[in-house]
Amino acid sequence: MKITVITAVYNRVETIAQALDSVAAQSYGDVEHLVVDGASTDGTLEVVQERIHHKIRVISEPDDGIYDALNKGIAAATGDIVGLMHSDDFFAQNDVLSNVAYIFETTGADAVYGDLDYISASNPAKVIRHWKAGVYTPRKLARGWMPPHPTLFMQRDVLERLGTYDTSYRISADYEAILRWFGKGGVASFYLPEVLVKMRVGGESNRSIERILRKSCEDYRALRSNRVGGVGALAWKNFSKLTQFLNK
């Protein structure tokens, strides 16, 4: 099975090299890496160009944010499976894609996901939070559960059938998509109980109180529009993050 990994990036010159090298180091052979650059101005594109090889394709043009960039990547993907590698992240091991491909091939799953470590931006060896995803159930979804988005791999034909990211959500389009895919879409998912991705702390959704409030409003809209839950699910979604600091 061919896997397409999409990296959406804008002005991440300090971290993009590790993200690209992480994909290149994967032991799985049939990989396409799409780098969707939003016309960076800080040298990011130059770092990407230095690492060009036959498995990398680059799209560089202005976009309307990360979800627009991810949609561009999905539209351009040729792999059977689509996954993400955000520009601040890297794979936890070199066999992540091999393990993911094996699960898809042996189970026929629509989606595969695993665990995520949040790490210090200044010290990648330091784990701040450990997100243990667990097995999906509809009841968990209604209580605010979601798989760690950076660890989620989907069959490309499932994305084409259920739709990609709704860009009217500026911060929570990933959550809305997961509610739609796992809820309305009823995807058959498989949980791989190991850390797949290391993610630096300091994401866009948590940069300010204003953005945290906006994210909560978007999360609530996503819950209501997909008829999954309401205020209770939103509260539990945020409360459950506290345990991630204790389980590291």
CA distance 187 to 37: 30
Average pLDDT score over the chain: 93
pLDDT digits (tens, 9 = 90+) for 117-163: 999 999 989 999 999 999 999 999 999 999 999 999 999 999 999 99
Residue 246 has pLDDT above 80, yes or no: no
Q: Are 128 and 122 in contact (CB under 8 A)?
A: no
Q: What residues does 81 pair with on adjacent strands?
A: 3, 155
pLDDT band at 235 (very low <50, low <70, confident <90, very high): confident
Each residue of 68-116: pLDDT tens digit?
Answer: 999 999 999 999 999 999 999 999 999 999 999 999 999 999 999 999 9
- Confidence band, pLDDT 50/70/90 cuts, at residue 224: very high
Least-confidence region, from 34-43, 69-78, 208-217: 208-217
Grade residue 221 by pLDDT with cuts at 50, 70 and 90.
Answer: very high
Q: What is the CATH number of the domain that holds 162?
A: 3.90.550.10
pLDDT value for 175: 97
Residues 6 or more apart whose CB falls under 8 angstroms from that of 219 comprise 172, 175, 234, 237
When divided into structural domains, the chain yields a total of 1
Residue 162 lies in domain? 3-246
CA distance 164 to 207: 25
pTM here?
0.93
Q: How far is CA 66 from CA 30, 199, 202, in A?
A: 25, 16, 15
- Position 64 scores a pLDDT of 96
Residue 171 has pLDDT above 80, yes or no: yes
